[in-house]
């Protein structure tokens, strides 16, 4: 029972209203019926991805994610006892298993949720950060100017000007 629930959760059946996710066959999504065999390799194209993009884009996204998974699995397996060629075959096999168990659809969903959320947060920070810094600097400079006036900035400025005049005088006396 728990395993069934976990598999449904990972394939987003429970997260998207308890219904099933109806993937579109790969060839139907692209518009070429002859490519429907790719559904058994890379998995179906999730309808929520098609709704948020379009048929071709969703198919490309799923295919690229499948290729990325295959390379990732192959790379991970090549670190162990497997040779590069065996790791590549096993990596592609694992990617096919992941795609057919609809984990790829769940992964694509969560990747887009994360990317969209991250984009929104970064946009908000990009808008609020300069504004906040501007307000902070204005307030800080206001209080700093009052502090400088209270400490006798005018006296310090007169002393600074006298120092500059002294340097000029010393420079003139040293010049030929």
pLDDT in tens, the chain (176 residues): 445 544 554 554 444 444 345 678 878 888 888 888 888 888 788 777 777 788 888 888 888 888 888 888 888 888 888 888 898 899 888 888 888 777 776 776 677 777 777 888 888 888 888 888 888 877 877 776 666 666 666 666 667 777 777 777 776 766 65
Helix 55-78 and helix 84-100: axis angle, to 10°?
140
Question: 61 lies in which domain range?
Answer: 2-174
Q: Are 93 and 42 in contact (CB under 8 A)?
A: no
Residue from 109, 119, 104, 10 nearest 50 by CA: 109
What's the pTM?
0.52
Q: From CA 44, how far away is CA 59, in angstroms rounded? A: 9
Structural domain count, the chain: 1
């Amino acid at each position: 029972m728990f395993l069934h629930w976990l598999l449904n959760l990972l394939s987003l059946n429970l997260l998207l209203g308890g219904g099933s996710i109806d993937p579109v066959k790969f060839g139907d999504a692209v518009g070429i019926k002859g490519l429907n065999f790719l559904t058994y390799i890379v998995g179906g194209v999730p309808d929520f991805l098609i709704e948020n993009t379009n048929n071709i884009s969703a198919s490309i996204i799923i295919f690229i994610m499948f290729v990325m998974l295959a390379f990732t699995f192959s790379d991970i397996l090549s670190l162990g006892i497997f040779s590069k060629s065996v790791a590549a075959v096993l990596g592609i096999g694992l990617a096919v298993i992941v795609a057919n168990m609809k984990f790829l659809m769940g992964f694509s969903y969560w990747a887009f949720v994360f990317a969209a959320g991250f984009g929104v947060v970064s946009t908000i920070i990009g808008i609020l950060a300069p504004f906040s810094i501007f307000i902070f600097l204005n307030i800080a400079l206001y209080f700093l100017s009052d502090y400088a006036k209270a400490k006798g900035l005018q006296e310090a400025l007169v002393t600074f000007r006298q120092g500059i005049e002294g340097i000029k005088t010393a420079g003139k006396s040293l010049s030929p």
